[in-house]
Amino acid sequence: MKASVFVPATIGNVGPGFDCFGLCVGSLGDIITIELTKSPSEIVASEGFDAAAVPKDPQRNCTVIAALSMLKMLGDRRNVRVSYKKQIPVSGGLGSSAAASVGGALGALLAAGKPIDRRLVALAALDGEESVAGRHLDNIAPCITGGLSIVRDTHSTDFSALASTPDWWITVVTPAYRLDTKIARSVLPLEVKRELMVAQMAHASSLVLAFANNDPALASRALNDLYAEPHRSPLLPKFVEAKAAAIKAGALGASISGAGPTIFAISETEKIAINVRENICKIYGNTSLAHTSKIPREGARQVAI
């Protein structure tokens, strides 16, 4: 009747994989508790970072929407009571709405006493994500799988994750301002030249090989977004300097996390990842989040609270 789940933050795009790649940020996430009820759905508690930004109206809350979508698929007519312990910034480019949606979908499945079914969780979570940020899976997939995931097709919820990931570290730093995903998407061209398409595909494919073969030198060459980053960086004050500071501190590469404004970097060791974090923070000065995490093999999971 009640289940609590940890739902991790995620980095959409991961550089060259626009709308397809996602990387899980293991130790940063929200804990969402779903209780099934015959009363109307409600948000009963919301605490932690950005808790005030969680919509309290159940009809506008993506956790409730995803949970009810899951219950409908299960043929269960109950509603949900939801509570949050939040760490993920809202509208920061770290998959906050995807985590909230996966939390609703997985929490409802477990609260109903059913075994975990990743496709069902993704389908219900998509309904939640669609209500806030559009129907895309690039944050939902890694939130479910952990590690690096690739979405082949959103309509058929066809996504998979690398079976193993290198022991590399992620740094994420969110400057103290928000950027609306709709605005960040509006600056992107709808058509690109063939040379750009080929170069972006080559970088994206090489990045996957770098992760699969544990090849940091290739990761360093491949972590380069030729499509979105050049158009979005003018919307992100000090991003260019922050990226240069990350590379100077030894990161293999850095780019915009999802639609921004968070910057992410990949490093070979924890020590480098911490130096990268400190260097980026010096550039931004005012930040709302600065975090390092080993790339996790596990995504959303049930927790006892």
Tell how strand 158-161 and strand 253-256 pair up.
unpaired
Among the listed residues 83, 181, 292, 293, the single contact to ligand HSE using CB under 6 A: 181
Segment lying near ligand HSE (by CB under 6 A), choices 11-19, 52-60, 150-158, 242-250 = 11-19
Q: Which is nearer to ligand HSE, 58 or 103 (CB)?
A: 103
Q: Smallest Cα–Cα separation from 291: which of 179, 176, 174, 146? A: 174
Based on the shown chain and the rule CB under 6 A, indicate whether residue 89 belongs to the binding site for ligand HSE.
no
Q: Nearer to ligand HSE by C-beta: 137 or 283? A: 137
Q: How many residues bind ligand HSE (CB under 6 A)?
A: 12
Distance, CA of 31 to CA of 46 (rounded, Å): 10
* Comparison of 79 and 293: residue with beta carbon closer to ligand HSE: 293
- Respond yes or no on whether the N-terminal peptide bond of residue 261 is cis (omega within 30° of 0): yes
The whole-angstrom separation of Cα 74 and Cα 8 is: 25
Binding mask 97-136 for ligand HSE (x = CB under 6 A): ---------------------------------------x
| Segment lying near ligand HSE (by CB under 6 A), choices 43-51, 115-123, 177-185, 214-222 | 177-185
3-state helix, strand, coil in the chain (%, to 5): 40, 25, 35
Q: With respect to ligand HSE, which residue has the nearer C-beta, 151 or 246?
A: 151
The 8-class DSSP code of residue 89 comes to P
Helix (H) or strand (E) holding 65: helix 62-74
Read off φ and ψ for residue 180, nearest 5 degrees.
-70, 130
Q: Is 139 in the site for ligand HSE (CB under 6 A)?
A: yes
One of 6, 7, 8, 13 touching ligand HSE (CB under 6 A): 13
Tell me how far, at minimum, the Cβ of 93 lies from ligand HSE, in Å. 7
